[in-house]
Amino acid sequence: MPITPEQQAEIDAARAQAQPTLRATAPGLEQHLYKAHQVLDHGFVRVIDYMGDDAAICQAARVSYGKGTKAVSNDKGLIRYLMRHWHSTPFEMCEIKLHVKLPVFVARQWIRHRTANVNEYSARYSILDREFYIPAPDHINAQSVVNNQGRGELLEGEEAARVLDILKADSNRAYDHYEQMISDDGQKGLARELARMNLPTNIYTQWYWKVDLHNLFHFLRLRADAHAQYEIRVYADVICKLVADWVPLAYEAFEDYRMGGVQFSGKGIDVVRRMLKGEKVTQEDSGMSAGEWRELMNAIS
């Protein structure tokens, strides 16, 4: 289970202690504070703290750009303008701190986004729990034959059962040995910082992750994308829902311009213009590679 009854009691106690404040709050996000939103089999995402809201983005933009923003008549229009024209600093005025429990191999993908503050559970000082990510049967896939980074057809029947048995057996065997190595029952146990190296990357870790909204949007654009690995995408999907409740105007603009929009190269724009004039354009006379052409056709079809 993602959280224990004791942890749930701590969450309930924290939520029961309302504090008066003069700072701006986001009512949509207040309802999520401290709650654990389950992800995968043992993981979760929790909002620990946040700063700013849609109004903070607009306030910062009007200070930064002065009279140039007076033509924008309302906050929604201003936020869409900022998103449309790739202004970043106003979105950096909002920050969020999340408590995330996730498999180590997902954490190693996640940490590639180096524009956040991270503090991870230390297996040098503490003992990791016997909790491993074991994929559900509908997420046991073969290697893709067309994408070296992707998944292919679903494994079924005996083959799927064989893989699941291996994952469970290897995970538990490694943890058994981990416990044996750190045990001091009648002998000197191995240092925890060494014993941890025998654990598989599907074991769960935890961290606090604090990031500003601009860099969070960059994370979500990549990790909530349909092409992202499933195990990190489901975390991004949960965070998307939290952000939508936190800064609804900014998230709407993000969905429209980043998640739902496409970016064309100069050659791509030229091809579209030629097509609009009625010209028949092929990949051979477009000046584009086969891959570029295929992506362009997928975007406009």
Regarding whether 248 and 215 lie in a shared domain, the answer is: yes
| CB-based contact 246:29 (threshold 8 Å) | yes
- pLDDT in the model for residue 232: 97
Tens digits of pLDDT across the chain (301 residues)? 678 888 888 888 888 888 888 888 999 999 999 999 999 999 999 999 999 999 999 989 888 555 545 544 589 999 999 999 999 999 999 999 999 999 999 999 999 999 999 999 999 989 999 999 999 999 988 887 877 777 888 888 999 999 999 999 999 999 999 999 998 776 788 999 999 999 999 999 999 999 999 999 999 999 999 989 999 999 999 999 999 999 999 999 999 999 988 889 999 999 999 999 999 999 999 999 999 999 999 998 8
- pLDDT in the model for residue 64: 55
Regarding whether 108 and 179 lie in a shared domain, the answer is: no
The number of helices, as runs of H, and strands, as runs of E, in the chain is 12, 7
Domain count of the fold of the chain: 3
Regarding whether 208 and 196 lie in a shared domain, the answer is: no
Q: Which helix (H) or strand (E) holds 152?
A: strand 151-154
Regarding whether 172 and 36 lie in a shared domain, the answer is: no
- pLDDT in the model for residue 122: 92
Regarding whether 116 and 217 lie in a shared domain, the answer is: yes
How far is Cα 55 from Cα 199, in angstroms, rounded to an integer? 46
Regarding whether 268 and 147 lie in a shared domain, the answer is: no
Query: Can you read off the two tokens belonging to residue 126?
Result: 């503490």
| CB-based contact 101:2 (threshold 8 Å) | yes
- pLDDT in the model for residue 1: 62
Regarding whether 238 and 140 lie in a shared domain, the answer is: no
Regarding whether 146 and 11 lie in a shared domain, the answer is: no
In the block, which residue shows the tokens 């910062």? 60
We report the CATH number of the domain holding residue 238 as 3.30.1360.170
Distances (CA, A) of 281 to 129, 171, 232, 276, 294: 59, 55, 39, 10, 13
Compute the half-sphere exposure of residue 213: CA atoms within 13 Å on the CB side of its CA. Answer: 29
How far is Cα 128 from Cα 119, in angstroms, rounded to an integer? 16
Regarding whether 76 and 12 lie in a shared domain, the answer is: yes
Position 151: which residue type? R
- pLDDT in the model for residue 65: 53
- pLDDT in the model for residue 3: 81
Q: Exactly one of 62, 124, 223, 258 is catalytic; which is it?
A: 223
- pLDDT in the model for residue 70: 54
Query: Can you read off the two tokens belonging to residue 101?
Result: 């429990």
Neighbour tally for 112: CB within 10 Å: 9
Regarding whether 181 and 84 lie in a shared domain, the answer is: no
- pLDDT in the model for residue 73: 58
Query: Can you read off the two tokens belonging to residue 64?
Result: 């930064």
Regarding whether 159 and 126 lie in a shared domain, the answer is: no
Report the length, in residues, of the chain.
301
- pLDDT in the model for residue 161: 93
List Cβ neighbours of 109 (8 Å cut-off, separation of 6 or more): 229, 232
Regarding whether 159 and 44 lie in a shared domain, the answer is: no
List Cβ neighbours of 262 (8 Å cut-off, separation of 6 or more): 299
Catalytic residue flag (residue 223): yes
Q: What is the DSSP letter of 126?
A: S
The domain of 114 spans: 1-132+203-261
| CB-based contact 107:120 (threshold 8 Å) | yes
